Structure 1
Amino acid sequence: MTAAGMVVSWNLNSGEWLTVHAHIKRASIPFIVEYTRGRWNHADPPKTARYLTRMWQTMPSQPAPSPDGLPALRAVPDSGAPTGPLTANQIRRSYFTEAANALAAGGQQ
């Protein structure tokens, strides 16, 4: 989850960890990550995994297999792909990169 840009507190009690384990057994970690990514609100993300375990109760038990029989899932975004809202530094870097490219191409100065 963290590698996919979805960070929450995992401070759970033993019963809650059993629930997490049960979800993993019935759906697989890659499927859980994809399912969560589709419902993640970057503007107001959950703070704890307790919220996620409630969300996972409505998750299908098995991912739909691809034609070759394997789940067609991507647990971690491609390298360089943004995983959420851009930070102020990323936005500034983007503007600088665009301006440098425009100058190199003989654009506005």
Structure 2
Amino acid sequence: MSLIVDVRDDFQAEADESFTLNLLPDAPDPGAAVRYQVGDVDTGTVTILANDTDVITPEDQDATGAAVEGSLRQALINAEEFTGINRVDFIDLVADSAVNLDAALPSITESLVINGAGVEN
């Protein structure tokens, strides 16, 4: 048996995301034949790697200090880690919003284009 997980790509900057699949043995009606058995490996963890560099929120960090998904902070983290990615885009929803930082932004060691509504924003 094969299990295919179809992961849809979105556009906001996000960190690695993981989820675990648990396979449970068939529980047929009493007296019915078992249709499948689960072998020794009954769980699997899938990690969707960090992707994208679009900013969709003016928020910065969550209560734990982690970058908020879709934030400028997460976009900069991703741009720094991705080979060849050198552009951060603010989508229209936040292009005219002020980004209030909770802490200093991460260092950028490569050329980076930030595309937004302008320096006045």
TM-score bucket of the superposed structures, by smaller chain: under 0.3
The TM-score, its normalising length taken from structure 1, stands at: 0.21
| Bigger radius of gyration among the two | 2
Greater relative CO (CA pairs within 8 A, separation 6+): 1
**Structure having the larger proportion of residues in strand:** 2
The TM-score, its normalising length taken from structure 2, stands at: 0.19
